[in-house]
Amino acid sequence: MLRNACVVDPVQDIDCEIMDICVDLETGRIIECSDVKGDVEVIDVCGRLTMAGAIDIHTHVAGPKINIARLMRPEDHYRTNVPALDYPRAHCGKSTPTVIRTGYRYAQMGYTLICEAASPPLKTRHTHEELNDTPIVDKLVYILFDSTWLGLDYIVEKDLESLAIYVAWMLDSLKGYAIKLVDPGADMAWFYGYGLYFDIDDQVPEYGVTPREIIYSYSRVAQILNLPHSIHVHTNKLGVPGNYTTLLETFRTGESSVLKDRLVLHVTHVQFSAYKGDCWYNFAAASEEIVKELERSPHTSIDLGQVSFGETTTMTADAPFEFILYHLRKWKVVLHDIEAETATGIVPYNYRRKSVVNAIQWSIGLEIALLASENLKWRLVLSSDHPNAGPFTRYPLIMTWLMSRRAREKEMEKMPRKAIKRMILPSIDREYTFRDIAIITRAAPAKILGLNDRGTLRPGAIADIAIYDIDPRNIDPSVEYEKVHNALRRAWLVLKDGRMVVREGKIVNEVSGKTLYVKCRVPKNRLKKVLKEIEERFRKYYSIHIASFVISSREIDNPQPILTHADLRE
């Protein structure tokens, strides 16, 4: 039993109320305290801030990209090495942390579920092997479909039902959770040398379909399959001045695909797609236009991709973007194509306060979050697109910027006046509360992922609980933001499935988290027909046998399938 916890739980409309929380260790879930029988262990929380475990809906922590990045960034590791003294295992890395450090640092901040945001199908076995070795936190993975040749075939044929069965088979075979689209169709243009800037209505070489059709088709498929999470989209023309118009058209494409009253589109790291201007000299923020469109798009959700300053490593399946970034950075680069599927790029980068562009990028994510209405906040999630806009370990710093105008002003004092004049941020007085932080780090991501037993402390929910060493009733985060930052960096207590894993900021127990994936039931006769087509095209497109492609549940540590039923007739 956790006694005298100061609970912030927006799902239950609880804001800084002193409560007791009881946990059943056998089920790992929260229960009514009236149901507790016999002697129980009691921990007096003494009014400390208590929330559900946090969720990172979009991060890059496992798989081929991050592993290559670790190899190309030795300097990122030897400066951060922690020997096996106070920790169960040694770890290192900042923007490219080892899997051990990833699990530890997320847990220390009170995060209990992380979502690997992009795994190429052919490389997903590697992704799961690294997720298996990531301690404490639960995890799930999004599978890249943006330029898979098999998927494009079905879109060209306008056969959405077969496309849906193909997606269901892929998610089950690869133990994936959701459909991920990165710069849809652009990999084919990159492959055939058709240029770097691929917009939403440009035609995909050799196929004749557009990114708009790809987004629309996969959005419909996600609804047909009743997937818990909508399609997860990295927009076309990401990182290019003037790309906000493409972002707005992506929102509208998602809204046009609605079959059911549910979220149908999640646009990720929206900051990178929120740029005005036609070059870097007149580069500016489109925050207001984006928020207005989002308010008119009730079936669309976003995460921020908030920039923080300092050195990091960018990595994405958007190879053309990384090619451009390399020529701006002129240091290291890895560009890689994966057969019949997608591409990737990795480039180290340093966000500088004295850079006009970087300063405006920093302001955009904060502006979108601070301009959002109460309703929109439930469709908005804190992210840094780790490590692209900065390491996930800077999340507490981002939270303090949202909660304190004074903290934001302190940052802006170090920035060029030319950048400040192009920002909306200096005119925004709004400051987030602890309740707002709980929404965008707990309640909203759980809702967007379709996980009703997370992001809340109500009875029946998974007992993932984070407690921080501050009393939210007696602290003003707008003034005492440094105290808030220090508290959020190292939780006082973290329970994972009811078991203590962090005490006073230190790892005290290393449990093995679960891997969530979707298993969608489709008509057997339809699956048999489509599977025959998949096998034929597999032999045509791939250099491996289909039997080597499928990942068994035995290869997953603590697999947790989530069952859905497709809206398809026999």
Q: What is the pLDDT of residue 86?
A: 64
> Rounded mean pLDDT of 289-300?
98
Q: Residue range 80-99: average pLDDT?
A: 82
Secondary structure of residue 507 in the 3-state scheme: strand
Per-residue pLDDT of 413-430, as tens digits, reads 999 999 999 999 999 999
| pLDDT tens digits for range 20-38 | 999 999 999 999 998 887 7
CA distance 137 to 510: 10
Asked if 363 contacts 351 with a C-beta cutoff of 8 angstroms, the reply is no
Q: Which residues pair with 182 in a beta bridge?
A: 234
Q: Which CATH class is domain 50-507?
A: alpha beta
Give residue 405's pLDDT. Answer: 98
Predicted local confidence at residue 359, as pLDDT = 98
pLDDT of 79 strictly over 80? no
**Dist. CA 311–CA 324, nearest whole Å:** 18
What is the Cα–Cα distance from 545 to 121, expressed in whole angstroms? Answer: 13
Determine the distance from the C-alpha atom of residue 452 to the mean position of all C-alpha atoms in its chain, rounded to a whole number: 18
Residue 479 Cα distances to 433, 486, 520, 569, angstroms:
12, 14, 49, 59
> Where do runs of H (alpha helix) occur along 120-185?
124-132, 149-156, 160-174
CB 443 within 8 A of CB 10: yes
What is the pLDDT, as a whole number, of residue 249? 98
Alpha carbons 239 and 152: distance in angstroms, whole number: 25
Instruction: Dump pLDDT digits (tens) for 142-174.
Output: 999 999 999 999 999 999 999 999 999 999 999
Query: Residue 67's pLDDT is what?
Result: 92
pLDDT digits (tens, 9 = 90+) for 430-450: 999 999 999 999 999 999 999
Yes or no: say if 381 and 301 are a contact pair by the CB < 8 Å rule. Answer: yes
pLDDT digits (tens, 9 = 90+) for 366-412: 999 999 999 999 999 999 999 999 999 999 999 999 999 999 999 99
- pTM here? 0.97
Q: Which residues of 192-221 are buried (b: 16+ CB within 10 A; e: fewer)?
A: eebeebbbbebbbeebebbbbbbbbbbbbb
What is the pLDDT averaged over residues 244-267? 97
Residue 87: predicted pLDDT: 65
Q: Residue 76: is its pLDDT beyond 90?
A: no
Q: Where are the alpha helices (DSSP H) in 372-501?
A: 374-377, 395-403, 405-412, 417-421, 434-438, 444-449, 481-489
